[in-house]
Structures are given as C-alpha cells and as structure tokens.
Structure 1
Amino acid sequence: MNPRSLPILGRRDRIRTAQVVVLALLLVLGVPGRSFADANLLANPGFEVLGADGFPVCWERSGWGDSTHTFEVTHAAHGGVNAMKVTVAAISSGDRKALMLENPSCAPNVAPGHQYDVSAWYRTTTPNTVMTMFRHDVARGWVYWTDLATLATTADWTRQTVRTPPVPAGTDQIVWGVTIYGAGTLQTDDYAMADATHPAPGTSCSAGPACTAGAWQVMPFDSPVRGIHAVVLKNGDVLLVAGSGNDPAAFAAGSFTTAVYRPGTGTFVNVATPADLFCSGHVQLADGRVLIMGGNKDYPAADGSHGYKGLKNSYVFDPDTLAYTRVNDMSAGSWYPSATVLGNGDVVSLGGLGEDSAGTVATQYFDSSAQRWLPLGEANQTWSFWGLYPSMILMQDGRLFYSGSHVFGNGLPGPGASIYDYRANTITPVSGLRKKDERDQSMSVLLPPAQDQRVLTLGGGNIDGNPDANRLTDLIDLKQATPVYRPGPLLPTGTLTGGVPQTAAQGKMYVSAVLLPDGRVFETGGGLHNRADPVYEASMFDPATDTFTPGMATDPVPRTYHSSAFLLPDGRVMAVGDNPGDGSFEMRISVYSPPYLFHGGRPQILSVAGDQWAYGTSKQITVDGPILKASLIRPEAVTHSSDPNQRYVDLPMTVTGNTIGLNLTSNPDLAPPGWYMLYVVGTDGVPSVAQWVQVR
C-alpha cells in the first residue's frame, strides 16, 4: 500500500500502545532465545540489490500524509555497500518509511501462532521513529498489525531486536519497516527476521510437523460457484467453471455460472456464462486464452429415452476481458471430451458423448492459426471411441499417449493404453497397465522433467462394479522403442471418514496429482468408492527415486468426485470441489503449503530478459543467490482427475555468479507454445514465486 491509509489509532496513541506492548513482552535488545543464527527470512535485507529504478529490490517508498521528504540509497552503510536513508524536512501529518513490498515473492511467509524475532540496524536524529508491521489476512488482504518498538535517537549504528506477538490466525505473510514521523533523518541497514518458535531437536525448521508434512489452510470464504473445472490463467488468477454444476434444476432454469478467483486478494469476479459448460473440455491456447469445448446439452431423460447429451458449442475465454467469445461449433457433440495442445499450438479433442448420448468417435481438430474447428473431412479420422476424458499426453515426437486414465466404468478394448499418431492416422497398443478396467478417475502425469518422457498413472476404480478403489501405480518410459508399462510403488494408505484406517488393499479414485517446482509430485484427495467414502491421505512422489513419501498433511475437506487440485504461482496448491452421491457440493477452498515453504526465505528472480521466449534460445535472468535448478511449469486446466497438458520443462543453466542463462528446448512438442510459470529453486530446496513467460 503506497501511500498507506491512516491506521485506526492516532500516531501518538500508537506509539504509547507500542511501548506498553514492548514492555509487556520484554521486546528489548538481547531477548533470550533469539534465533538470528537461523535462516534470515527476508529478501534483500541489506539493500544490496538494486532494481532498474535504483531503489532496492523488494522494498518500496511508503508512507502517508503531508511531508517534505527524500529517500536515498546511501553508501554510509552498517554492513555491505548500501543503506537506506529517509530524511523528513518538514511534516504536518503522516509518516515515511522504506517498507518491504507486499507481494508473495518479497513478503516473508509466517505461520499462525508463531513468534518472530525481527531486527534492524539504525541511526536516527529524531525520537519520532518506530518499527511498524503489517500482516496479510487471507480474508481481508493487507492490514496494519502493530508498532513493535520506539527507537531512541542515536548517532551510532545501533541494533534493535524485537519479538513479535503470536501471529494471528488467518495470516500467511507479514511486512515491516522503520517509520519516521517527525522532522529528522533516519538510516537503516541489515534487517533480519527468523522464526523464534523453537525447532524440534536436530532440525533447522521450527514449524513443527509442517517442516516435513506441509500444512493446509481452509479459506474463510466459500467459492461462489461449483468448482468443477479449474484453469490457472496467465496472470495467476483461477478460472472456476460450473455451468449448471451437475444440478438439473439449474440447467432447467438456464442458470450457468463461472467465476474468476484472485488468490492475491481472496476475491471473486462473477462471469456471464453463455451455455452449460458442465463437463466440457478446456486447454490454454498459445496466447493465454482458454479454449473451452463442448459441455452439457441435456441431462438424462426421466423415461430413460436418452442419457447425457454433448454440446457442439465452443468458446474462448479471455483473461484480459473476463469474457467468453464463441468460435465455430465442433464437428460433433462433446460431453467429457479430452483436450490436448500440440507443438504447433493446435488442439486435438477426442472421446466424450455426442448429441445422441452415444460415444463420439470423431477426431476433432482446432486450427489455432485460423481459430476454428476443422470440418470432419479436413481432420484425420480413425473413427475410434476413446472413452470419456481420455488422458492424451503429447509426446516429444508429436504423437499422443493414451495413458489408460479415463472417466466412468470399463476401459476400452485392448490393453488399456496406446499411442496415437494423428499425422499417420495409426493407433499402437501399449501393454503392461494393470487392472485396465479399474482406472476410472485415476490420474496420469508426465513426470518432471518432460525431457525424460516418463508417465505415472495413479489409482482408480470402476463405477459399474464399484469395487474398492486400488493402490496401483504404473510407470512407462515413452523414449523406449516399444514402451511398456511396469509396476510402480503402491499408493500410501490413509484414513476414511471417522479416522478408520484403510486396509492394505484399499486405494483411491478421484485422485489429484500436482507437479511442484522442486520436481516432485504432490498426490492428494480421492475416494474409495463411486461418489462415496473420501480418503484422507496425501504423499509426495519423487521421480528421481520412484518412491512415495507418505504422511503429508491431508486436506481437512473431503475431495472426491468433481474435485481438483492445482499449483498456484506462489508454489502452493489449491483444492476445490467435492460432489458426493447425495447431490450436495463442497464450496470450501483449501490451500496447501508444501514443506519447502517452511525452510527459509525464497530465492528472488530479480530480472528476466523479457517475457517472450523463442524455442532454442538462452534467456538471461538475475537472482539474489545460489540456485539449484530452474524450470517452466505449464499452468493447469484440470477436471475429473484429468489434465494431460500438465508438464514440467527443465531449463539447463549457464551460471555466472547471480546471472543465469536458461536454455530453452528447441522442440515445441516438449514445451507446447503458451504461457508458463518460470521457477527457480534455491540450494535449500525453496522455490521462488513464479514469473510468467510466453513460449512461442
């Protein structure tokens, strides 16, 4: 907030209140148990890294009211080269301060209930100097929290150390700075912040179980729409599409809904929805717009004369205008269609139900350059039925791998998996997938990095026979001349409603698998049976060892049918939805902070050489410290445990100090054109907040 609004208390009252707090909490120099030997959670704490405008990265000129003042980066530093100097020549109201930026990349993450030791070196010519702190409330946004301590005048560099009160519930980040509210000169340098909560013996993390399991937070607000479809947009917002939301009454009333969720503010924007996009397909186009195909033309008839019917309608959603625009119709109706983007930016859609409730056998092809669906005669056809939401993953040679993950009942004839070559119009069976007719609402992911061409398929069930969902995982290396699935490790077991433990044979369907910036896969959610018996279990899969780490924190909200989980640009995972057999729908939103967010400050991407990245080029970035790896992650467009376009593309690095060249693949089939989240990961395993770049 720049300038800041006037806090609730008057300035003099705030100072007196802060002094009482300081005395009551013994917030003085030399607080026993201070933890400054721990990792400093602050970004650019000594002002050493300057932005293009000459001001320190992750800091802002802040304040409010009427004053004559200047901000200056001075070389009369306590440590290093730079320090911050704020001079107020005259003031009638308000204050001035250099404050940490209120954004996910710069503001330190905190845990509710924890206390933090904060310190700064300073010298000031006026007693009108105070340490001021703000907090990010997930329901209200950034709000004033407290003044921590009044600083005495001093001509020599002096360190002030303060321990905060316990962080209030619902707070995920804080920022603070040293404020001057009278005429004089203030200089500060070498800020620090560390978690004062004592870590477990033998660890360097003080967040308790979150150090190894991460932590979930249920948002203090509900979604205004049923989150059946979720798409992470090129600006970090989340498109939530319900259509009629599996509600025949809403369908009859023509009540179709969409909302855009803004994680940074916890707010929603309702969007006019042109048709019943319930159970449509969707994928990001190269320009960041979202192609949405098909949906629900009708619910099953009471007399059994027809089942669900697929729409032919197709739309493009624009994140810039928050509006749908209709494109030409598909060649066939599509309810539960797949959607896979190709290396040239075109889209192939397969499977689903048509306008007559029968399986759609047409291959439907969207020409991105012409922005239209091709007529049947212009697209290659095999006249094959691929089931509902068949998982069709683009391979590095342009072919599609049908992994065997699908929705509803038995799989297709044959071994359950295959490779489809659109250009040659051929289908090659792939063997080895176990229980191929019990992979209903399993999930398949192209494992990190995409260059390895390995796919993991997890869990699944069968709504026809409705046996217990299975624990099976299967792995395949698509680089082999004749790829064959091989058994992977079993999914870890969890608990059912009431804390009843699963048996050794019980797994889950409706599973979600999310690629993380550190190169692991977070597996969460699911149910034991068709629209029933939620499973509370979560784990981490490591592609380097092909092993699961069980015991991750579990979402307290059940997530079965019509649920999704997906990666946010800040490295957290968001989960929405649940539609059990009684017809109810879960409107609560959960957000998971993986363990890496509790192990120190984030690395900072200080600059990126443009957001337009051409294939086969090296793009330069600058960072604030040692980096372990860098990657591009395609934002998710997920529904029904299906997002075949999810992928993590490794960026080999050329390192020269804090300047890093990132080498992008020349193969668009490895990284189809579009907007990606660029992450770097520090040597402690903590990822940056993503920067958005467009691969083209």
Structure 2
Amino acid sequence: MPSVSQQWLLLLLISTVLTVFARADLPGTWELLVQNAGLASMHTAVTRFNTVVLLDRTNIGPSRKMLRRGHCRKDPYDAVLKLDCYAHSVLFDLQTKQIRPLMIQTDTWCSSGQFLPDGTLLQTGGDLDGVKKIRKFVPCEATGSCDWVELADVELANGRWYATNQILPDGSVAIVGGRAANTVEYYPPRKGAVALNFLADVEDNQMDNLYPYVHLLPNGHLFIFANNKAVSYDHNVDKIVKEYPPLDGGPRNYPSAGSSAMLALEGDYSTAVILVCGGAPYGAFIERSTDTPAHGSCGRIIATSPDPVWEMEDMPFGRIMGDMVMLPSGDVLVINGAQAGTQGFEAASNPCLYPLLYRSDQPVGLRFMTLNPGTVPRLYHSTANLLPDGRVLIAGSNPHYFYRFDAEFPTELRIEAFSPEYLSPDRANLRPIFEGIPETVRYGESFDVSVSVPLSVVGVVEVNLGNAPFATHSFSQGQRLVKLAVTPSVPDGEGRYRISCVAPPNGMVAPPGYYMAFAVNQGVPSVARWIHLVS
C-alpha cells in the first residue's frame, strides 16, 4: 500500500493533470510578445500606425529603458532623480516588436487621455507638476521620430488627478472629475471648469467617485457613473437631465475597482446599453484589507430608456481591476485583475487569471464564458487594448510605488497578447480579408467594401467600427463599437464579396476620428483597416 506521502504525491499529480486538461479545453490562447518593455504601462493606447503608446509616470526612479543620449529629464523637485535619463513612455511597434523611448517631462501618474479627430493623442493631468498639464502625441510610422509635446500656452482650469476623458460629437473633449475636482471642463477650452455637484454628492471617505465611467450616448448626452449612481449630462448646456436608479452592490469606481463598457451600437442607433461589473465591498480600501473578497455582480441598464432599471447578474468570479475590451464581434472581454482587496499600492491579492467572455446577446445566466487562464498576474496599473488583428494586448501591473522585482507580485515588464476563440485555427477559413475599403468616409455616406473569405460566406458579413480608447485603471476611456448598416454580401464572381455600407449618421453615434474597421463573418473578424470618419 502506498505511504501517505506517496498518496499525496499521486493526488497532486492527478490534480495537476486534470488542471492542465481543463485549461487546454478552455477557449483562447496566450502569446508573449516582449519579455522586457522597459517600463510597466499604467496607460496604453493603440495608434492608427499600428503602434502602441505605453505610458507610466515620472517621479518613480529608474525604469528599465534609457532615454536617447542627451534627452534626460531635469526636475529639481523629483524626490528620486533630479536628472532622470530613464524613459517613462515608449512606442511599441506591433510588427517588429521594437521599442523606442519617448520623452515625457511632467508627472502622468493617474492621468487621462483621448484621441482627437486628427489622430492626435490628447493626454491630460496627473500628479505634482503634471496636475494641470495638457500634452499631445502626434503618432507617426514606427520608423519616425514623433514624441510627446507638453503644451506651454494652455493648461487645465482645474488640477486633474484620476479624471476621465471623452471625445464629443464635435471632436472636442470633455474632461470629467478627478481628485478634489468635482467639475467638468473641455479641450479646446470653453469657459473654464463647470461645477458637477453630482460628483461631490456621491463621494464618500473612500473617494469612490474617481475615474468616473463616462460614455457618450447616441442622443449626445454623457452617461456619467460614480460610486453607485449615474446621471445623464447635457454637455451643451452643462446640466444634468436625468438621474438613474442606484446600482446595488456597493461602490464601483476607483478605488473599489469595478469596470464598465457601453455595448455595441447598432440598428437605428437609438439604444445604448451600459454594463458595470465587479468591485470591492465598501470599507476594503479604508481598512487596507488585501484579502477582502471582491464581488462579481454586474448591472446592465438601457441608458436611453425613458424608465431605465438595472438588470443584475453575476460573473463566475469576484473581480476587481478587471479591464473590459469591446471585441469586433460585439462581445466583451473581461480580463486582468484580482479576486480580493482594492486598487492601490500593495492593496490586492489572489490574481484573477481567468478571462471572461460576455456574450451580450444571450439571456441572463448564459452570458459569461470562462476562457483559458494566463500565467502572469495583472493587478494595479495593468491595461488591455484591442489590436487591429483582433488580439488583445495585455501590459503593465505595478502594485508598488516604485519598481520592485522581488515582491510576491513584482513590477511587470512583459507584454502579452490574448487571442479570443474567434482566432482559433479551426475558424481560420471563416476569416474575411479586406480587398478594398475607402480610407475616409463621411457621416451618412453610402460606400462599398470588398472582402474575400476562404470558405463561402454564410449569412451577412458585418462591418463594425471600433475606436482606439485610452486604457487606464480598469476603464477604457472613450471606447465604443458601432455596427454599420450593411446589405447582404454579393459575390463578384472572382472570389470576392461586395458589401454596401452606410456610415454612422452623426458624431453622437460615432465621434469624428480614426476607427478600426472590421469585417466580421459568423463572429470571426478580419484584420482591421483604419478608416477616417469625418463630417
């Protein structure tokens, strides 16, 4: 008879084998893109040149990437390095996987951002010398020399730390909230900051009104969610026009660390559905309790309904700091985060390695699918961004004030990509390929695209526009997916299909700017082509 130790060893072996098989059966695959990006990305954005801007913060000491010779940051007030020759932002080339250092001068800790209509990345606020700063990054080809520019002739009216940016129908940007900033202001500047008392009303002694969830509704109003409450805000007259019922389950914003996404806009674009999931129980942040279990409750509301109510459901896992990524298919990927604690330094434990797929068209109870787990904990200051090839870029995680590589959850410099099930080899024959698509389209314009598909098309090939949001602190600022009105695919006799599309009707449905256009056949997306939507 085996000894006790042998029995335990046998049980461990069986458990390990079962776990491996269970993981192998779950959808999705992981790929390590870069072993050392040089920095932990607190903020991440994908540009129309298929490069990725990774941005951390200054006043943090050495990163693991040097700036170009002669381009050191000089700051007599920096507590760590008065002369800082380390990069705190880089540009990552998706094709070559090369990383080029970028120069950022002021502190971008917990700042905000959004792309402008011309493709420029607007970046606002931060801490210390960055709290009122406005910065711009004009993307270029990976071989170019584009870099950050800090504007000297304009600054924020209020200091913005933990704020949220949202592009508006006219291409301007609303900058909402922040620590001790219960206001809204705009870029280009309109009339200074405008009081938003709603943010002050929902704040508690945990500050759960930070990084408010802001979504542009197709009626032109802003859906603003903070703590457990939401309002509809008319930015044209700076007035709250609707109050929504509170969402059960406690606070959802920073530092209680839920997440939110607006589901795909489609049909006549009159209906907008908002999803808010996860978070920590009230008090976890105050008590600095790293082992307080996160909850997995989700609320879903039709924000454009005259009588909106929250529909509740539960995720398979309690989760804080989960990132929500709108996939080209219209499903939502929930990834990264932890199952206990809150946002903040040294404040979370029990990493949640299992991504989830939220299938928005399914009934309650059948919407969530558990996906193949990763192996790298992604906690505080991690990000997730949709890539033009349909994968999701995963970066960052630094739950420490400085860079630490000797901790239980070390500063994470690796960049990974997660491939949803629609990219699995057994669906490759369904994947469309764009053969022709215009580079620029105008609102309401009819236009044709041409695609080829290895197998015959079954049903209608969708053409969906996804923008490139600014991902930070478990929320993708400005994220949206718009499904275009299309006609059934028509074969041209040469192995291609012609699809007639109608561009979004106005900037309320899709603000002006660059979008990733995906052809989607039976849930399988093409590699995107960038398209410029203009008025």
Task: Provide TM-score, normalisation by structure 2.
Answer: 0.78
Q: Answer whether contact 1:211 1:596 (CA < 8 A) is retained.
A: no
Cα deviation for residue 253 of structure 1 reads: 4.9
The Cα offsets for residues 29-76 of structure 1, whole Å up to 9 and x where unpaired, read as: xxxxxxxxxxxxxxxxxxxxxxxxxxxxxxxxxxxxxxxxxxxxxxxx
Paired residues of 1:291 and 1:317 also in contact (CA < 8 A): yes
Q: How many residues align?
A: 442
* Alpha-carbon distance, 1:375 to partner: 4.3
Q: Kindly provide the CA deviation profile for residues 68-104 of structure 1, in whole angstroms up to 9, marking residues without a partner as x.
A: xxxxxxxxxxxxxxxxxxxxxxxxxxxxxxxxxxxxx
1:468/1:246 CA distance change after superposition, 3 Å: farther
Higher relative contact order (CA 8 A, sep 6+): 2
Residue-by-residue CA offset, 1:615-646 (whole Å, 9 max, x unaligned): 00112111114253120001121000112311
Shift of 1:425: 2.7
Structure 2 counterpart of 1:396, from 218, 233, 247: 218
Per-residue CA distance 1:205-247 (angstroms, 9 max, x = gap): xx99768511112235211122000011111211001122755
Matched, 1:673 2:512: yes
CA contact (8 A) 1:283 1:637 kept: yes
The residue number in structure 2 matching 1:636 is 469
Fraction of identical pairs, as percent: 27
Residues 641 and 250 (structure 1), Cα distance of their counterparts in 2 relative to 1, 3 Å cut? farther
SS in 2 for 1:670: coil
Aligned to 1:510: 321
The 1:636/1:508 distance shift into structure 2, 3 A limit, reads same
Deviation, 1:263, is: 1.3
Distance in 1, matches of 2:258 and 2:482, equals 23
1:522 corresponds, among 333, 346, 365, to 333
SS of residue matched to 1:596: helix
Post-superposition offset of 1:652: 1.5
- Deviation of the 1:596 alpha carbon: 1.1
Matching residue of 1:325: 149
Q: Are the equivalent residues in 2 in contact too, given 1:242–1:256 (CA < 8 A)?
A: no
2:135 to 315, 319, 334: 315
> How has the CA–CA distance of structure 1 residues 346 and 448 changed in structure 2, closer, same or farther, with 3 Å as cutoff?
same
Structure 1: distance between partners of 2:59 and 2:216: 29
CA contact (8 A) 2:469 2:477 kept: no
Kept in 2: contact 1:562–1:579 (CA 8 A) = yes
Q: How does 1:262-341 map to 2 (within 5 A)?
A: 262-297=93-128, 311-320=131-140, 321-327=145-151, 328-341=154-167
Q: Is the 8 A contact 1:537 1:554 kept in 2?
A: yes
Judge conservation of contact 2:112–2:470 (CA < 8 Å) in 1: no
Equivalent in the alignment of 1:444 = 260
In the other structure, the counterpart of 2:432 is: 603
Q: Which whole-Å CA distance do the structure 1 matches of 2:520 and 2:103 have between them?
A: 39
Tell me the secondary structure at the aligned position of residue 590 of structure 1: strand
TM-score (norm 1): 0.60
For structure 2, the residue ranges without an aligned partner over 5 or more in a row are 1-20, 62-77, 201-208, 405-410, 492-496
**Bigger Rg, which one:** 1
What's the Cα RMSD here? Answer: 2.3
Aligned to 2:443: 615
The answer on whether the counterparts of 1:567 and 1:573 sit within 8 Å (CA) in structure 2 is yes
Distance 1:315 1:581, change over 3 A: closer
Q: Following superposition, which runs of at least 4 residues in structure 1 exceed 4 angstroms of deviation?
A: 207-212, 245-256
Change (3 A) 1:604 1:250: farther
In the alignment, structure 1 residue 258 sits paired with structure 2 residue 84: no
1:246–1:278 CA contact under 8 A, matched in 2:
no
Cα distance in 1 between the residues matched to 2:515 and 2:252: 33
- Matches of 1:417 and 1:381, distance apart in 2: 16
| Alignment of 1:473 onto 2:298 | yes
With over 3 angstroms needed to count, the CA separation of the structure-2 counterparts of 1:251 and 1:330, relative to structure 1, is: farther
The AA in structure 2 aligned to 1:441 is: A
Question: 1 CA distance for matches of 2:125 and 2:159?
Answer: 6
Unpaired stretches in structure 1, ≥5 consecutive residues: 1-206, 299-309, 354-358, 368-372, 405-410, 494-506
Residue 483 and residue 283 in structure 1: after superposition, are their counterparts in 2 closer, same or farther (change >3 A)?
Answer: same
Cα distance in 2, alignment partners of residues 220 and 291 from structure 1: 26
Deviation at 1:560, TM superposition (A): 1.1
* Superposed counterparts of 1:563-582, under 5 Å: 563-581=382-400
- Partners of 1:403 and 1:444 within 8 A in 2: no
